[in-house]
Amino acid sequence: MGSDWEGPKLLGGVQLLSQTGKDREREAEVITWMRPPRGWVKVNVDAAVLKGEGTGLGMVMRDENGAFQRAAVRRERRCWPPEIAEIKAVEFDLKQLERSGGRQAVVEMDC
């Protein structure tokens, strides 16, 4: 499914950003993944709002070793403000956690 929106791209540690038709390069911030406590999972949630199209909600779950456990996405027809969309993504994540057995989780988001 295509989109007219084009965001930053991470290529070999360099993030390319489009600015007024010209590309410029800058170093990407390196973030180290921090494992959750033993027996827990870590869930990253995010939301994207495309004006006039709706909101996308997503989550990725990994165990304490970083091994993939589960991922899910959902499209909402409603366009929420970004802060509300992020909260809706957390709500979506909590429902997914419940479906996966109600495991203890560390939830991360970029809002």
C-alpha span between 111 and 94 (Å, rounded): 17
**Where does the pLDDT of residue 30 fall: very low under 50, low under 70, confident under 90, or very high at 90 and above?**
confident
What tokens appear for 31 in the block?
């973030």
Which distant-in-sequence residues (6+ apart) come within 8 Å of 5 by Cβ? 48, 50
The number of distinct structural domains making up the chain is: 1
- 8 found inside a domain: no
Tell me, yes or no, whether 13 lies in a domain. Answer: no
Domain that holds residue 62: 35-108
**pLDDT over 80 at 44, yes or no:** yes
Give the C-alpha separation, 28 to 13, whole Å. Answer: 6
Within-domain flag for 30: no
pLDDT in tens, 48-74: 999 888 999 999 999 999 999 999 999
pLDDT for the residue numbered 57: 94
- Domain-located, residue 40: yes
